[in-house]
């Protein structure tokens, strides 16, 4: 049992270190990219429930950060990168992750429950 707790603590320490590095990378972005990245991050964290979903969301955020870093290096305006509808950009990202987020799983459960009650599903 002690081994399990130790491995969990080590994993948390590693995840915390990765998150600190991720935040440093955000801080290195141009100011406009920092603002948009932080707003996207704040918005998207609302859709991560539980440790596994948080890991999935963090990976997605790291991908967005990498995308931002690349476009910032090219000198592109952040709103040219994400579009004027940043909420739409987030919706598109969430759509890609939907099956892995709590809202996506909840939608799947809802549909499955209705199909069962109607006798039209497994």
- pTM to 2 decimal places: 0.75
With respect to residue 65, please indicate whether it lies within any of the assigned structural domains: yes
What string of pLDDT tens digits covers the 122 residues of the chain?
Answer: 556 888 888 888 998 999 999 999 999 999 999 999 999 999 988 877 766 778 888 999 999 999 999 999 999 999 999 999 999 999 999 888 866 666 667 777 888 888 888 888 66
With respect to residue 80, please indicate whether it lies within any of the assigned structural domains: yes
Split into its structural domains, the chain has a count of 1
Q: Is 101 left (phi over 0), alpha (psi -120 to 50) or beta?
A: beta
With respect to residue 25, please indicate whether it lies within any of the assigned structural domains: yes
**CB-based burial of residue 21 (10 Å sphere; 0-12 exposed, 13-18 middle, 19+ buried)?**
exposed
CATH label of the domain that carries residue 91 = 1.10.1900.10
With respect to residue 41, please indicate whether it lies within any of the assigned structural domains: yes
With respect to residue 122, please indicate whether it lies within any of the assigned structural domains: no
With respect to residue 101, please indicate whether it lies within any of the assigned structural domains: yes
SS3 26: helix
Question: What's the domain range around 60?
Answer: 2-117
């Amino acid at each position: 049992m002690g081994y399990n707790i130790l491995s969990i603590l080590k994993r948390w320490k590693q995840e915390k270190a990765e998150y600190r590095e991720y935040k440093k990378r955000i801080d290195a972005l141009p100011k406009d990219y920092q603002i948009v990245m932080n707003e996207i991050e704040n918005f998207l964290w609302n859709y991560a429930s539980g440790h596994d979903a948080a890991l999935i969301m963090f990976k997605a955020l790291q991908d967005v950060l990498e995308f931002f870093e690349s476009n910032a290096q090219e000198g592109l305006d952040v709103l040219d990168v994400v579009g004027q509808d940043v909420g739409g950009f987030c919706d598109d990202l969430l759509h890609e992750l939907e099956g892995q987020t709590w809202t996506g799983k909840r939608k799947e459960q809802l549909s499955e429950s209705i199909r069962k009650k109607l006798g039209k599903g497994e």
